[in-house]
A and B are shown apart, each in its own frame.
Chain A
Amino acid sequence: MFNKTLTLAAAGLAAALVVAGCATAPSSAELDQQALAMLKASFRDQGIAKVDRLNQDLGQKACSSDKPPAEALAKQIEAESLASIKWPEGGRYLGDWREGEKLPQNGRGMTWTDASADPKANGANCYNCHEIDKKEISYGTIGPSLWNYGKLRGVKDVADPASAAIVQYTWGKLWNSKAYAACSNMPRFGHMKLLNEEQLRHVMALLLDPKSPVNQ
């Protein structure tokens, strides 16, 4: 009799625990899964902006929380990004800074109201986040100032071998910013086909050409 009561009580307690278990908050991993399902269910295609834009690559996924990724993972993202950089054909890094001035002013491209995803339809968006030429006072502050970018880095002649390292770094940064900082806020202009090589060369010239207004 006593035993039976005890058994019943134990069963009751177990049942209560199970119910309580069901009612406890979902784990962090479960919430991650639920958030992904919610995103997939909430968005639809519109124009050039298709739902496949929600499919994250390694870096996007690793940089999607309020905490940075583990160091080993960050290093892996940076190494893979560096390896993915396409260097300019024939080592032609610089174009025309006059053309390069137009692209940073232009913040258009890649939204669902843009007709084409061709890089030719895109601006470089630079002034949204960076100061570049002091004459332009309407600039954002998410990225560092690029005023005197080449001058401050000692670029007097872009063809001089002494300038090679900074010229190559700048191309790499524009092509795939994640090569140098896994969770950089900056878009990967070459890697994601936001700008073509010619456009990148013009932006390069604006930043590095000693004759560019940026370096006066």
Chain B
Amino acid sequence: MTADSHALATVEHSPVAGLAHDQRGGISNPVLGMLLFITSEVMFFAGLFAAYFNARASNAPWPPTEFEHTLEPIGLILVATIILVSSSFTCQWAVNAIKRNDRKMFIRNISVTLVLGVVFLLLQGYDYTVLYGEGLTMTAGPFGTTYFTLTGFHGAHVFGGVIMLAVVVYRGMAGQFSDRHHDLVEAVSLYWHFVDVVWIVLYSVLYWL
């Protein structure tokens, strides 16, 4: 340990302190891998957002007149947003619980997270049918295409997260996690927070901006 180790600060005081560490002092491999995967997913959505902003700048009025009031920020989609944001809280509570070896609260919170995630997907699916009824479809000009592509791929990512949460619940109920071994729980929770952040950006840009 050199005198320069102050540069990294002690593990306990750095923002990555909360994440699982391995014996040599770095973040555990699966957690690091998931964080890097998340940075790659940021760039995937970047390409889709790039198309959105380009389409928006090239097509006036935006929204088009026939869809002026179709995407209302206050309504079913706000309920879905609140549900997804809440699920991030329950997810983090689950992680905190397993870190102090409280298996019961961990299972409870992670199961609630899973349920909230499924509810979000169902609400989104229902919202899609409402929008279809108002004429907003994938083929409805760039407005429709960008809306459904962005929210659709976000939904696909939520679905992937739901599968991962289900695996965590299953393995959790089989007693496979403890305060010292819970890499998968942390990795999945990081992914889930990411999916939530993307939704907040999507919701703000598509509905409010």
Q: Do A and B belong to a common assembly?
A: no
Q: A-side interface residues toward B, CB under 8 Å? A: none
Q: B-side interface residues toward A, CB under 8 Å? A: none
